[in-house]
Structure 1
Amino acid sequence: MNKLELLLDQHLVGSLLSKKLDLALSVHGINLTEFILMYHLGLVPEVGLNRISLAHKVALTASGVTRVLQPMEKTGLIVKTVHPRDARQSFVVLSASGQELLSNAITTVKHTVDSIFALFNQEEIKTLQLLLNKLKV
């Protein structure tokens, strides 16, 4: 296998994992991208994050994040707040219903991830994580 085939296989595996997680999360009415955004917002519940910070978490542009956040705001999962010193900047926080949905979705994701990684022993998981971390740029 050459490096190009490895890259294509990695892309395929990533897409298959995303589809599997999207399907699992559909019972909560969200997709994987929305879950990842909510997860990161859940890590800083009182403070929230701006669009640029969120964009870095999901490898989207700031405008791409805005497109994902707009329906989430309309359905009440998130709340936008204006920066106290710079009205041009806004922060996004999870609403109470967003926090509840995230809590339930985390359980679903953990079960799905457990079934995916049941194929590997702990040493293989550790090696896989080390190798994937080397690819992050």
Structure 2
Amino acid sequence: MDDVSIQAPDDTALDFCLRLARAQAAVVRRLDAALGGHFGISFGDFQLLLHLARAPGGRLRRVDLAERQGLTASGVTRSLLPLEKTGLVGRQPDPRDARVGYAVITPAGHTTLDNAMTTAREAANDLLRHAPPEQLQALAAVLGLVAGTTFI
């Protein structure tokens, strides 16, 4: 009879994934609280604004934004709606292809993002205050490999 409470030698990757999931939940909870309390945006909203701000021309096709955010196309559309209603994000059609739509960060979105960046940095620094910087750099590289992405 196998005892699942005893970690097998090959469970290192699973243990990492379980800890990563728990850490991700803690990060989202902390940043949601900090950003929501000050700016009325979630951490997901913050990420969307950051992706748009870093994109050429401050705009991305919705499908590209969905990929960067790890969402489906319909998921990114649902996430953008409140940001559009509050004027932080706008829509821009592609003049050459009516099927393509862009999400665009507005001047108000830039202002909110600029202000929220300080709060997000403070919350992140507090969360990771005991982690040595060289370990954070190595872990960031590993997470980039897991995510299969080079953005953010």
Return 5+ residue gaps in structure 2 as ranges: 1-6
TM-score with structure 1 setting the length: 0.91
TM-score with structure 2 setting the length: 0.83
Query: What amino acid does structure 1 have at the position aligned with 2:31?
Result: L
SS at match of 1:39: helix
Deviations 1:21-56 (A, max 9, x none): 111111211111111110011113635101101011
CA contact (8 A) 1:36 1:58 kept: yes
SS at match of 1:132: helix
Question: Which runs of 4 or more aligned residues in structure 1 lie more than 4 Å from their structure 2 counterparts after TM superposition?
Answer: none
Equivalent position to 1:16, from 14, 26, 29? 26
SS at match of 1:30: coil
Paired position in structure 1 for 2:100: 89
Seq. identity, %: 34
Paired position in structure 1 for 2:117: 106
Q: How big is the alpha-carbon RMSD for the aligned residues of Structure 1 and Structure 2?
A: 1.5
Per the TM alignment, residue 63 of structure 1 is displaced from its structure 2 partner at its CA by 0.6
Paired position in structure 2 for 1:33: 44
Query: What amino acid does structure 1 have at the position aligned with 2:90?
Result: V
Return 5+ residue gaps in structure 1 as ranges: none
CA contact (8 A) 2:58 2:105 kept: no
Higher gyration radius (CA): 2
